[in-house]
């Protein structure tokens, strides 16, 4: 090992294992299976988000093996390591959900930490749930080494075309008295049939599609069933692809450009994707050094229609989109209409246009993706709202099915639990605008998703009669007249902190405004009387997060440059 020729692809691993001064390093690695030949190969770290605490990630251990095998087959040395994941579906509606968005930063930190320490030359990251996917991309972006992201794949539908949101909404229906405990238990037992991420165009499938459009996944990776030969082949190919990227020194900073992010936003809008994509794409762009703001979503949304009839607002599930060809034919349609940037580089080493050149259109008769001349909605469903309630902006998902304007009387709550109790006991009634505050990035801390209250509203039959606004977030499975990410958040003295029960709030998704009917003088009077609440946590990861996290309008990241 003293005269190993320097391989330019090994610029990170060579200092760790080459030469007599690194005998101790090699000795440690021999104990985990390295051979003399392995020390001469580029090392590819395989970041696995496997755990058996959630179906989204319960199969990723075997996918990681496939990715490692692919790296080995292409002349590299795959090294598997784990990072954490949490389950939004399990934690929703509890104090534990405050750790959800925090986990995105922990995952990015951990991938950067392991790869930076161990000297991996390239990486494959495999994610399968809402926060570990953007967390993986942020870790890869920080390292800026040749990398490929692999989506763990979507779950299959449950009995009766059900999924996790069906269970949440059944809970609301039971609270209302529409179904009994036996019916609720039947849905609970059959809605989640096995491994894979939640089955609609919720946050996981939204982010998988966005990452493929961004160019950081191999073509087709976002639209494969978790339990399939295709997904194993995708992982194997990703491991191989990293060696090609190493050969050409193609790194995330070459792929994750401003135009690539615009492509990702375009695909998210066309698919009717989750509001969380706004938060995560801004965070990912910030990490790679690309300027992206709420206003970019508005500008792109004016020219890009919603094409997909996918849950939660539509009918179909991701597995049904997989069956008709995934998102590639839709991307080809968008490209042909000059709605995508053709020359963006991707992890194949080719441009987006080159990847899509041979893609065939969808078969005639399919009902999932509408043609451009007959869209589900002619403009974006993701609305960036501004006004005296949200001077720095807020994010709404308005498909039009719930209307485009809502005006009602504020019913104010200072926590999700408080709001949930009042929904369940019938206090919340038609015409209310629920205000759930002190749930922002700092105030929560952690910006909890509001899937439990929005599902309860739907389950009680109030979906078109009640609006909900919050400085927290929404699950990709939430639907109805909902507005999140209100900034500045209440904990920082944002106007949401000044609203009282009975104030009239108006949300207009055509004018893109969110206003409370109070004069500037009245708002100033209330602000003078307002006192910032004490932090809910003073030690531990939630306290550290609250001290370092940025506004939702800048992605709720913890490492903004000074």
pLDDT tens per residue, range 474-510? 998 888 899 999 999 999 999 999 999 999 999 999 9
Under a CB-based contact definition with an 8 Å cutoff, are residues 437 and 532 in contact?
no
Give the separation between CA 97 and CA 136, rounded to whole angstroms.
20
Give the separation between CA 384 and CA 490, rounded to whole angstroms.
18
The band of 4, judged by pLDDT with boundaries at 50, 70 and 90, is low
Is beta strand 504-508 parallel, antiparallel or unpaired with respect to 405-413? antiparallel
Torsion of CA 233, 236, 239, 244, to 10 degrees: -70
Q: Is the dihedral of CA 133, 134, 135, 141 positive or negative?
A: positive
- For the chain, the domains span 41-156+194-356, 157-193, 382-554
Q: What are phi and psi of 537, to 5 degrees?
A: -130, 135
Question: Any bridge partners for residue 468, and if so which?
Answer: 434, 482
Q: For position 480, what pLDDT does the model report?
A: 84
548 belongs to the catalytic site: no
* Domain 382-554, CATH among 3.50.30.80, 3.30.465.10, 3.40.50.620, 3.30.70.20: 3.50.30.80
* Domain 41-156+194-356, CATH among 3.40.190.10, 3.60.15.10, 3.10.20.30, 3.40.50.2300: 3.40.50.2300
Q: Is 21 helix (H, G, I), strand (E, B) or coil?
A: helix
- DSSP class of 178: S
Q: For position 5, what pLDDT does the model report?
A: 56
pTM > 0.95: yes
Question: Does the pLDDT at position 559 exceed 50?
Answer: yes
Q: In this structure, how many other beta carbons lie within 10 angstroms of the beta carbon of residue 299?
A: 14
Give the separation between CA 201 and CA 207, rounded to whole angstroms.
9
Q: What is the pLDDT of residues 192-212, one digit of tens each?
A: 999 999 999 999 999 999 999
115-127 burial, b at 16+ Cβ within 10 Å, e below that, comes to beebbbbbbbbbb
The band of 2, judged by pLDDT with boundaries at 50, 70 and 90, is very low
Question: Does the pLDDT at position 30 exceed 50?
Answer: yes
| Separation in Å, CA 347 to CA 126, 302, 455 | 15, 29, 38
Annotated active-site residue in 475, 478, 551, 553 = 475
Query: What number is the average pLDDT over the span 169-185?
Result: 92
Question: Any bridge partners for residue 44, and if so which?
Answer: 78, 122
What is the separation of C-alpha 254 from the centre of its chain, rounded to a whole number of angstroms? 22
Share the mean pLDDT of the chain: 96
Q: For position 400, what pLDDT does the model report?
A: 80
Structure tokens at 270: 């066309």
Q: For position 18, what pLDDT does the model report?
A: 96
The total number of residues shown for the chain amounts to 562
| Separation in Å, CA 348 to CA 72, 146, 205 | 18, 11, 21
Q: For position 172, what pLDDT does the model report?
A: 84
Structure tokens at 478: 């939430």
Q: Show Cβ contacts of residue 209 under 8 Å, excluding neighbours closer than 6 positions.
A: 222, 223, 267, 268, 271, 273, 327
Residue 146, judged by CB atoms within 10 A of its CB (0-12, 13-18, 19+), counts as buried
Q: Do domains 41-156+194-356 and 382-554 have the same CATH topology?
A: no
Question: Does the pLDDT at position 182 exceed 90?
Answer: yes
Q: What is the pLDDT of residues 258-313, one digit of tens each?
A: 999 999 999 999 999 999 999 999 999 999 999 999 999 999 999 999 999 999 98
Query: What number is the average pLDDT over the span 148-169?
Result: 95
Share of the chain above pLDDT 70, in %: 99
153-157, 162-166, 260-264: which range is least confident on average?
162-166
Query: What number is the average pLDDT over the span 397-417?
Result: 92
Q: For position 3, what pLDDT does the model report?
A: 47
Question: Does the pLDDT at position 165 exceed 60?
Answer: yes
Q: What is the pLDDT of residues 510-528, one digit of tens each?
A: 999 999 999 999 999 999 9
Under a CB-based contact definition with an 8 Å cutoff, are residues 112 and 95 in contact?
no
The band of 176, judged by pLDDT with boundaries at 50, 70 and 90, is confident
Query: What number is the average pLDDT over the span 143-165?
Result: 97
Give the separation between CA 486 and CA 496, rounded to whole angstroms.
8
């Amino acid at each position: 090992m003293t005269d190993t020729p320097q391989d330019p692809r090994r610029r990170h691993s060579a200092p760790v294992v080459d030469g007599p001064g690194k005998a101790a390093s090699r000795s440690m690695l021999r104990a985990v299976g390295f051979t003399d030949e392995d020390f001469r190969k580029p090392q590819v770290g395989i970041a696995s988000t496997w755990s058996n605490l959630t179906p989204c990630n319960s199969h990723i251990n075997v996918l990681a093996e496939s990715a490692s095998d692919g790296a080995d087959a292409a002349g590299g040395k795959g090294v598997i390591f784990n990072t954490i994941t949490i389950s939004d579906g399990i934690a929703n509606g509890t104090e534990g959900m405050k750790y959800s968005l925090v986990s995105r930063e922990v995952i990015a930190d951990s991938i950067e930490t392991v790869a930076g320490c161990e000297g991996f030359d390239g990486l494959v990251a495999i994610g399968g749930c809402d926060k570990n996917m953007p967390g993986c991309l942020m870790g890869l972006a920080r390292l800026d080494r040749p990398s490929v992201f692999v989506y763990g794949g979507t779950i299959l539908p449950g009995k009766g075309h059900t999924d996790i949101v069906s269970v949440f909404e059944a809970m609301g229906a039971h609270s209302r008295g529409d179904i009994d405990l036996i019916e609720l238990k039947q849905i609970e037992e059959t809605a989640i049939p096995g491994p894979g991420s939640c089955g609609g165009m919720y946050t996981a499938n939204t982010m998988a599609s966005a990452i493929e459009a961004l160019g950081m996944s191999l073509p087709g990776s976002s639209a494969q069933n978790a339990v399939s030969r295709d997904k194993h082949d995708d992982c194997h190919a990703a491991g191989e692809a990293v060696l090609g990227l190493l050969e050409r020194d193609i790194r995330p900073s070459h792929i994750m450009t401003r135009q690539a992010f615009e492509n990702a936003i375009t695909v998210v809008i066309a698919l009717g994707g989750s509001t969380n994509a706004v938060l995560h794409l801004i965070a990912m762009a910030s990490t790679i050094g690309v300027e992206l703001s709420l206003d970019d979503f508005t500008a792109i949304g004016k020219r890009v229609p919603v094409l997909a009839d996918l849950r939660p607002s539509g009918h179909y599930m991701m597995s049904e989109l997989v069956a008709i060809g995934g998102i590639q034919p839709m991307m080809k349609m968008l490209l042909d209409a000059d709605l995508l940037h053709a020359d963006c580089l991707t992890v194949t080493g080719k441009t987006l246009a080159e990847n899509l050149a041979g893609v065939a259109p969808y078969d005639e008769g399919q009902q999932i993706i509408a043609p451009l001349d007959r869209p589900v909605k002619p403009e974006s469903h993701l609305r960036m709202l501004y006004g005296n309630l949200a001077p720095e902006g807020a994010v709404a998902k308005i498909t039009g099915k719930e209307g485009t304007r809502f005006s009602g009387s504020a019913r104010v709550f200072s926590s999700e639990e408080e709001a949930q109790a009042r929904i369940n006991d019938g206090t919340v009634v038609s015409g209310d605008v629920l205000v759930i505050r002190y749930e922002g990035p700092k105030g929560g801390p952690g910006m909890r998703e509001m899937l439990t209250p929005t599902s309860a509203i739907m389950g009680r039959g109030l979906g078109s009669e009640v609006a909900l606004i919050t400085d927290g977030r929404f699950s990709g499975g939430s639907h109805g007249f909902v507005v999140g990410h209100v900034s500045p958040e209440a904990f920082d003295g944002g106007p949401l902190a000044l609203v009282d029960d009975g104030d009239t709030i108006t949300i207009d998704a055509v004018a893109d405004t969110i206003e409370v009917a109070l004069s500037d003088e009245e708002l100033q009077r209330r602000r003078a009387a307002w006192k910032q609440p004490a932090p809910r946590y003073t030690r531990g990861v939630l306290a550290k997060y609250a001290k370092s996290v940025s506004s939702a309008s800048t992605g709720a990241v913890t490492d903004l440059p000074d």
